[in-house]
């Protein structure tokens, strides 16, 4: 069941980066990557599978399982060279252009950080959230 809460206020990435760089592990980090997922007008089926029924997305109902997200974050920390992970997820009824999620990963080298970002976003999208497009 989708949570009917009002969407949240998006975080400040500048503030997130300042916090990450102040973290005790920051001296081991050589790179940070940020992901910002946004509600798009194009339906997922068209983008992912090429199925075009002519419809457009007007909004989205979005919810997540916080325990599963926490477990995915813990798993990400176990990856080689990853020292900082922060995730923010919106919830409720979102409109086109609204932020769905922010993910920040800090690590030692580019390949480790890229792999961790890809891993965590995939895990969140496939196992932790419910997205229902409103057409």
pLDDT by residue (tens digit) across 77-135? Answer: 999 999 999 999 999 999 999 999 999 999 999 999 999 999 999 999 999 999 999 99
Instruction: Decide if 127 contacts 46 (C-beta within 8 A).
Output: no
Instruction: Kindly tell me if the per-residue pLDDT of 17 is higher than 70.
Output: yes
CATH 2.40.110.10 fits 13-134, yes or no: no
Model pTM?
A: 0.90
- 68 φ, ψ (degrees, to nearest 5): -70, -40
Sequence spans of domains, the chain: 13-134
Closest among 50, 56, 65 to 2, alpha carbons compared? 65
**Average pLDDT for the chain:** 93
What's the confidence (pLDDT) of residue 124? 98
What's the confidence (pLDDT) of residue 5? 59
Mean pLDDT of 8-24: 96
What's the confidence (pLDDT) of residue 1? 46
What's the confidence (pLDDT) of residue 18? 97
Instruction: Decide if 28 contacts 82 (C-beta within 8 A).
Output: no
């Amino acid at each position: 069941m989708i949570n009917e809460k009002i969407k949240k206020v998006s975080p400040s990435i500048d503030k997130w980066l300042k916090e990450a760089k102040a973290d005790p592990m920051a001296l081991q980090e050589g790179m940070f990557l940020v992901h910002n997922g946004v509600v798009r007008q194009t339906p997922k089926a068209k983008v992912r599978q090429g199925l075009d029924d002519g419809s457009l997305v007007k909004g989205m109902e979005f919810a997540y399982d916080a325990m599963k997200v926490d477990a995915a974050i813990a798993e990400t920390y176990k990856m080689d060279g990853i020292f900082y992970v922060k995730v923010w997820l919106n919830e409720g009824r979102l409109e086109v252009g609204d932020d769905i999620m922010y993910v920040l990963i800090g690590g030692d080298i580019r390949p480790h950080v890229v792999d961790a970002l890809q891993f965590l976003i995939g895990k969140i999208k496939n196992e932790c959230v419910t997205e229902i497009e409103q057409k």
